[in-house]
Amino acid sequence: MANLFVIAAPSGCGKTSLVKQLVADTVDLCVSVSHTTRDARAGEVHGKNYFFVSKQEFDQIKQDNGFIESAQVFDNHYGSAKKTVKDLLASGQDVILEIDWQGARQVEKSFPDIISIFIIPPSIEALRARLTDRGQDDSSIIDRRMRDAVSETRHYDEFDYLVVNDDFDTALQDISTIIHSQRFSIEQQSSRHQALLETLIK
């Protein structure tokens, strides 16, 4: 039985970079590719970073109950396809969903056993510096992201784990520890080693 992880964070907290490295370092761990109506950024690939779709296509999938969660972020729409997640879990891979707290609430209705992780910056000043230094947004967008970060962080206690991304390697190790610990639960291990257990307790 595979695990479904939800990892959320305010914009600029390094979530995407952490998840990318986690997947590179961890066997049988992948990210569920989401659908979005926003335009692809430089270097992004359809089907790898996101499934880039029109608003009409997105609305049709939603109407067909094809998303386990969907949300509007600024002027764009995002959604995690139910079939994509179920197929990945069925293949035996642990799956990460990179979504916000609202999405986590939605996913929990279909997958009540999700493991959720919330990432925060070491300070509000550090967050503004990161948003500014990455050079993707103008000052008005950065101000809006800062306001949203405060609003999103108020929901930290709805998650199972809290990680501070002050030092990248430390945060990476913290999240990796959480993921690996789930693989040693009684439920996971008894399923994985059922044949062995049967020989031991005859």
pLDDT (tens digit per residue) in 167-179:
999 999 999 999 9
What's the rounded mean pLDDT across residues 33-37? 95
Look at domain 4-32+93-200 and name its CATH class: alpha beta
Locate 68 and state its tokens. 């386990």
Put residue 14 in one of left, alpha, beta given phi > 0 → left and psi -120 to 50 → alpha: left
Instruction: Report the pLDDT value the prediction gives residue 176, as an integer from 0 to 100.
Output: 98
Locate 174 and state its tokens. 């913290």
pLDDT (tens digit per residue) in 67-90:
999 988 778 999 999 999 999 999
91, with CB counted inside 10 A (0-12, 13-18, 19+), is exposed
Cα(38)–Cα(13) distance, integer angstroms:
20
pLDDT (tens digit per residue) in 89-117:
999 999 999 999 999 999 999 899 999 99
Segments making up each domain of the chain, as ranges: 4-32+93-200
